[in-house]
Amino acid sequence: MSSSGSDLAHAPVAVLGAGSWGTALAIQFARAGHPTRLWSRSAADVVALRGERQNARYLPGAKFPDAIEVHDSLASAVRGALAIIIAVPSHALRPLLTQLKPLLARDARLAWATKGFELDTGKLPHQVAYEVLGDHYPVAVLSGPTFAKEVGAGLPTAMTIASPDEHFAHQLAKSLHAPNFRAYTSTDIVGVEVGGAVKNVLAVGAGLSDGLGFGANTRIALITRGLTEVVRLGVALGAQPETFMGLAGLGDLVLTCTDDQSRNRRFGLALAAGKSVRDALAGIGQVVEGYTAARAVHLVAQREKIDMPLVTGIYRILYEHESARDVVKDLMTRPIRSEVE
C-alpha cells in the first residue's frame, strides 16, 4: 500500500519495546527532531524510565532527550503516531501485532527491528505482519550493523531500511537522519530479514570458535562460509543476492561475529567456557536471539532443502548436545567441492 499521502517530517513516532535497541531507536528519533513515545509493557520499568530519564537497566548512561515521552499504555503510545516502530524479540512480534491491530489508525505505518524467523511457523517478520494485519499498512524492517550502546552514545552509525513501499522507506530514513546516523533504503525486505535472522546463529558459532581457541583462520572461515549459507537460503526465499553484500548482510554478520557487544557472540563464548545453555543464557541477562534462531533457521533450511552445514552444526551443539570439536571435525572432513557451489 502506498504511503505517499502523509509525511513523517513532524509526526510523532511510537517505539514499542524498551529494551536496549528500542531505547536506542527512541533516542535517535528524538535526536533527529521527532516527538517520540517509548512504550514498555512493564509498569515498574515505566516508573524507572520516567524518573531516571535513561534506561539504567539496558542502556545505562544514554540520557533521554526532552522529546521522549514514556508510556505504559499501548493505546496512548500509538494514538496519532504515523510511524510505529516495533523493537521486540521475534517470539513477541505476533502477540504485539495482535494487540496493536484494533488500535491502528487507517494511515498508520509500521516498521520493526525484530530479527528472526518465527519458530512455530518459519515465517519472516513481514509475513507474520501480513498474516495478522493484512496488507492494509505500509511496512518496513530496520536492520544492519548497529549496537544499541553506540547508537545511544551518538556514535556514527549506518543501517538499512527495507520496504516494498519505496516512499515509506525513504521517509523513514529521512526521519532517522542526523549528523551521527545515516540510513540506506532497499526494497528487498526478504533479503534484509534473512540476513538479520541467520547472522545471529553464526555469531553464536563465532563465539564458540573463539572461546575454544580455534583462532583467526577459523573465525574468518566461519564468517565467509556462513555468508554463503545466508545467500543460499535468502535466494531460495526470493531475496536479491546483492542485498547480502551490504550493511544488512555482510556488515551485520561481521559486526555480530567479531565484537563482544554481541549477546550472541558472548553466549557462544560462555558455552565454550563450559557453562550450560541455561546458565549461559541467564548470564547474558537479555534475550539471545541466536539460540532460538538456530532452531528456527535449521527448520526452515530443512523445509526448503537448503544445505547449511554451519547452521546445522551450531544447531547440533545447542540442541543435540554434540561437542563443538566433533562438529568442527565433521565440517573439516566434508567432501571437497567448488567454493561457488
Catalytic residues: 199
Among 126, 176, 166, 168, residue whose Cα is nearest residue 146: 176
Q: How far is CA 3 from CA 163, 189, 272, in A?
A: 11, 16, 48
Q: How far is CA 182 from CA 78, 145, 155, 172, in A?
A: 25, 12, 11, 11
Distance CA 297, CA 118 (A): 9
Angle between helices 289-304 and 263-272 (to 10 degrees): 90
What strand order describes the sheet that includes 36-39? 68-71, 36-39, 13-16, 83-86, 109-112, 139-143, 157-162, 181-186
**What DSSP character marks residue 65?**
P
187 neighbors 162 (Cβ within 8 angstroms): yes
